[in-house]
Structure 1
């Protein structure tokens, strides 16, 4: 697993202008994922920067799969996703309860399998929804992402670390927004 993790962490990082086809790619891929592992899927959402219209992003569509709490991907689920060319990278060490898969082809995807309506589910969708409704914050985030990608062009881990304080600040603002608006 650590060999896979190192391979992920030492990946070229590039941020590109928003592409309108990301939502179409999500919809098509989400259906394939649902068909492959329908017995554990409660809901599938497009999240991450590619889900925010106009936001520059790494050209990798992030897919959030919500399952019943306590349901983990089995060997059968891993094999079903492997048939769709997904590589299983295991449980995220920084975010326990998140199981990570990636597909690296012409169109690239990440799948995060998490408990539906748990903290990881809610936090990721709140972050997305906040950026969708606050274009000035999304624009600032794009600038942070571009700067981080230039500084850490060959290290995903360093790229993530360079964005972390801004992301944490946005999460706090999103929670306050949610509390004030009842979102």
Structure 2
């Protein structure tokens, strides 16, 4: 299952389909804006095997120069993305796809600290079952408490994420 209606927060069990969906979307993105791209990363909980997640594929698109993100807007709109600008989340061009939302692109300049933290956290969870399980339990608890407030849900996960990043 893929797609999260606006304003809702719920989790579904991890599925291999998420990885297949990422690879398919990566190919589409490369076909449209590949000349600007350094790398495309599967990030977020859907990128961590066995971790329940909101059913949205998070994609980090790494570019050499932040300003070329503007050049990607029209081509990405051709494949269904809506450009949300650079003011939604820090230091990135942000795009979403679908209603309900099925994909998100976070477009970062290479070396961006937020990108590096996303990758470190993802890799840590991929390689540490105890932390992955603990994070999943926290996410379920927070999704139940904040099922209609995605911002509060995300905010309340922040301390866990920071504690992991401080360890690694």
TM norm structure 1: 0.83
Separation in 2 of the partners of 1:168 and 1:134?
Answer: 16
> Is 1:52 matched up with 2:29?
no
| Cα distance, 1:134–1:31 mapped onto 2, change above 3 Å | same
Separation in 1 of the partners of 2:61 and 2:140?
Answer: 27
Name which of 71, 76, 85 aligns with 2:80: 85
> Is 1:172 matched up with 2:166?
yes
Deviating beyond 3 angstroms after TM superposition, the runs of 4 or more aligned structure 1 residues are 69-72
TM norm structure 2: 0.90
Q: Cα deviations across residues 142-170 of structure 1 (Å, max 9, x unaligned)?
A: 11111111111111101111211111112
Q: How many residues align?
A: 164
Is the 2:66–2:108 Cα contact (8 Å) retained in structure 1? no
Name which of 23, 28, 36 aligns with 1:27: 23
Q: CA deviation at 1:72?
A: 3.6
Q: CA deviation at 1:93?
A: 4.7
Separation in 1 of the partners of 2:42 and 2:8?
Answer: 23
Q: Cα deviations across residues 21-74 of structure 1 (Å, max 9, x unaligned)?
A: 111100000010111111211100101100000001001011010001333422
| Cα distance, 1:113–1:144 mapped onto 2, change above 3 Å | same
Separation in 1 of the partners of 2:68 and 2:121?
Answer: 24
Give the aligned CA root-mean-square deviation in angstroms.
Answer: 1.9
Q: Which runs of 5 or more residues in structure 1 are unaligned?
A: 1-7, 176-183
